[in-house]
Amino acid sequence: MTASGATPPKFDQLFRHDFEQLLVWRRDVRHFRRDPVDGALIERLIAMACLSPSVGNSQPWRFVRITDLDRRAAVRANFAECNAEALQCYHGERARLYADLKLAGLDDAPEHLAVFCDHGSDTGHGLGSRTMPETKNFSVVAAVYTLWLAARIFGLGVGWVSILDPERVRASLDVPEEWSLIAYLCIGKPVEESDEPELVRLGWQEREAFEKVLFRR
């Protein structure tokens, strides 16, 4: 029994297994089918994202569904320029590899969702973010990731586009100056499922050994 009177859930062996499968099969998707996505489902995913942790319960996430074609085109152009500039940073074989990667599903994804952190809100009264102000942005990242996992459960793929000038995205979408862009998401049915990151499959970057990430003090 708890304060609210509700009984806490117990998560069994099957749920643990399926949750791990969810992690294994969640992908950063860049190849989308053009089939439209039910708007009510998108709102349901956003509502689930609002159950994410946030510093001081500040809930600084702001979700912007973009349907206007001119605004989408502005983001597309932003990506194209930033991606061309990024290509200039690579040389030889790696430049060829980079040029061959598909790094955004902006053209085909039926749903575009920009997610911002509202730094102009006093919700949460600053608790927990005085010495680490970046934790407000981190709260929004948690919300993005909740939405991502939830989308995969419903058979949708999410692609996080970060090859963008974030200030220009903010201007293109005409949102308040106190909002900072955390993620620009493409959402839709994926062309294929995979248990391996596309960047692994295409030889860009392997998975790291576990020993490289775990330390003791």
**Three-state secondary structure call for residue 84:** helix
Please tell me whether residue 175 binds its own copies under the rule CB under 8 A: yes
Q: How far is 146 from 148, CA to CA, in rounded Å?
A: 5
Phi, psi of 79 (to 5 degrees): -60, -45
Minimum Å distance from CB 188 to its own copies? 16
- For residues 9-48, which are near its own copies according to CB under 8 A? 9, 11, 15-16, 18-26, 28, 43, 46-48
Antiparallel, parallel or unpaired: β 179-188 and 157-161: antiparallel
- Return all residues near 139 (Cβ < 8 A) that are at least 6 apart: 52, 53, 54, 55, 58, 59, 60, 61, 117
Please tell me whether residue 125 binds its own copies under the rule CB under 8 A: yes
Can you tell me which of 174, 177, 187, 188 binds its own copies, judged by CB under 8 A? 174
Minimum Å distance from CB 170 to its own copies? 11
Minimum Å distance from CB 108 to its own copies? 19
Contact 59, 123 (CB under 8 A): yes
- For residues 57-116, which are near its own copies according to CB under 8 A? 57-59, 61-68, 71, 82, 85-86, 89-90, 94, 98, 101, 103, 114
